[in-house]
Amino acid sequence: MKIFNFILLALTVVLSACSSKDDEGGGLNPFAPNNTASSVTINVSHLESTQYTDVIEFYFKPSTGITITKVDVAVQTFTDVLQGDSQTVYEKDQWSMLVGYQGVEVGQEWTFIFHGKDAAANKDFQVTTKYVVNN
C-alpha cells in the first residue's frame, strides 16, 4: 500500500509540474479546512480514480504556494504518513493529487495534517483539514 501511495504521490509531482489547471471546479467538491495557527489554508476534495478500480483519489488546493514536508492521514483506525520532498512548490489555488486509497466509503471523516513551508514567506506551517466523503 505504501508503494502504491508513493507512486501516486510521484505521479502527482510529475503531473503538477507538467500541467496547468484552471480553478473551475471540474467536479471537485471542497469543504472548508480547519486550520491551526497558520495563515495557510488547504482545501481537500476527492474523485473516483479513472485509472484504478475502487480507488478514491484525494486532492488538495493551498491558499498560497507551499512545499510539503509530510502529510499525516487518518480515518477511523487507519493512519498513514505521506512524505513530501520539501522542494516541489504547490501553487496557490491549484488542485494537486495527494494520494489514492481503496476502501473509502461515503460518510467517512478523514483528517489530513499538512506540514511544510509557505513558499513566499519561507515560514513553517501545520494545517489540519477535516474532510467528509460525501458521494
Domain extent for 109? 2-18+34-132
Is 108 inside any structural domain? yes
List of residues 6+ apart from 79 with CB closer than 8 A? 72, 73
The angle subtended at Cα 28 by Cα 56 and Cα 7, nearest 5°, is: 40
Q: Give bridge partners of residue 113 from the DSSP assignment.
A: 72, 128
State the DSSP code for 31: B
Number of structural domains in the chain = 1
Stated length of the chain: 135
Q: Is residue 54 part of a domain?
A: yes
- The model's pLDDT over 65-90, given as tens digits with 9 standing for 90+, comes to 999 999 999 999 999 999 999 999 99
Amino acid type, 29:
N
Residue 26 lies inside a defined structural domain of this protein: no
**Ramachandran category for residue 5: left, alpha or beta (phi over 0 → left; psi -120 to 50 → alpha):** alpha
- Mean pLDDT over residues 114-133, rounded? 96
Q: Is residue 25 part of a domain?
A: no
Instruction: Give this prediction's pTM.
Output: 0.73
Residue linked to cell 488538495: 60
Specify the DSSP class assigned to residue 26. Answer: T
Q: Decide if pLDDT at 42 tops 90.
A: yes
> Which is nearest to 1 in space by CA: 82, 72, 77?
82
Q: Which CATH number does the domain housing residue 11 bear? A: 2.60.40
State the pLDDT at residue 93: 97
